[in-house]
Amino acid sequence: MTPADLSLTVLHAVRRAVDDGALRVDVPSRAKVERARPGGAGEYASNIALALARPAGRSALDVAGILEERLRGVPGLRAVEITGPGFLNFTLRGDGDADLVREILAAGTSYGHGAALAGTVVRLAGSDEPRAVVVVETLGRLLRSQGADVEVGADGGERVHVHPGMCDPGGDAVRWAFLRAAPHDRPLDPALFLVPHERNPLFRVRYAYSRTRRLLVNARQLGFSPEQGECDDPLLPALLRDHPLALLSAARHRAPDRVARHLEAVADALLAFQHTVLPLGDEKPSAAHRSRLALAEAAGTVLAGGLSVLGISAPDRI
């Protein structure tokens, strides 16, 4: 279950509570779900009960209890807990790792694309300023990835505030420099992203992708292939589940920098995880190696898809 699936599941619980008369509220268009904060319960949390308490004329704890009853036993959820004044906290089932990898590999680089903005028409004003051209073009791809109808260069369209960047917009380093900073912030120096060094986040993202391709080649040479299964790394699957939300959030907030930051987090987790994928020494390939390889392949797919949305290449070898 991805965060987007979890958000829809929470909304379905609200709708059920309204339909059976337990709550008298208008069903919201979406339910905010985010990673649980350090020290919190579960993996994800939602404040939906607090948001509905006043219109329902009930306490947030009462609303949370009503929703918790309707979330019990939902496939993909191991536990639902109520904390604080009425936060709902969710723990996903461990078998979700295999389903997640299967979903990513089936979708390919389109993983995270959806229909959340279907029916929305967005008209973006054009610009001749180099950085604005890149930002608006990227926002067009992001919005379309979420189902919106987009017209770029429309007269009288929405004008995205972009701090100017006066260098030639060609090249991956320049695009990353333009997009990694928030549009209203000063763009980063492209020279920082030309050096192939671990301090260069663009290099890390592209290198992490290339490592997944190499791991697949090396595994074939060792006589085994990826196979979906449970993984012993909690961070990387969580970040991959967050990818659809990162794309949707970037589209809604006109903030392609959110995608860049998310890709950096995925790359760093993957680079820390990669050393466990292949057998060491005389070790024979096991089910754990096969599932780790599948997870690495899925992570590479997410990195390639995210870079594609930003208009940046993902080379197989660096």
57-81 residue pLDDT tens? 999 999 999 999 889 877 678 889 9
Question: Quick count: other Cβ atoms within 10 Å of Cβ 59?
Answer: 15
pLDDT value at residue 128: 86
Structure confidence at residue 36 as a pLDDT band (50, 70, 90): confident
The secondary structure of residue 158, as a DSSP letter, is B
Helices (H), the chain: 3-19, 48-56, 60-71, 96-107, 130-145, 172-180, 201-221, 235-252, 257-273, 287-309
Report yes or no: 271 and 211 within 8 Å, Cβ to Cβ. Answer: yes
pLDDT value at residue 110: 97
Report yes or no: 192 and 182 within 8 Å, Cβ to Cβ. Answer: no
Q: State mean pLDDT over 85-114.
A: 88
pLDDT value at residue 192: 87
Structure confidence at residue 49 as a pLDDT band (50, 70, 90): very high
pLDDT value at residue 16: 87
Q: Residue 197: how many CA atoms within 13 Å on its side-chain side?
A: 7
Structure confidence at residue 313 as a pLDDT band (50, 70, 90): very high
When mean pLDDT is compared across 27-31, 91-95, 201-205, 207-211, the lowest value belongs to 91-95
Give CA separation, 228 vs 71, 73, 273, 288, in Å. 27, 24, 16, 10
What are the backbone dihedrals phi and psi of residue 225, each rounded to the nearest 5 degrees, phi first?
-135, 165
Measure the CA–CA gap between 31 and 25, rounded to whole angstroms. Answer: 14
Q: Summarize pLDDT for 14-25 with one digit per residue, the tens.
A: 998 998 889 999
With a cut of 90, say whether residue 241 has pLDDT above it. Answer: no
pTM (two decimals): 0.75
pLDDT value at residue 94: 59
The radius of gyration of the chain's CA atoms, rounded to the nearest angstrom, is 21
Q: State mean pLDDT over 284-312.
A: 96
Which residue type occupies 305? Answer: G
Contacts of 301 (CB under 8 A, 6+ apart): 104, 105, 108, 109, 111
Q: Report the percent of the chain where pLDDT is more than 90.
A: 65
Distance of CA 195 to the CA centre of its chain: 27
Structure tokens at 227: 């196979």
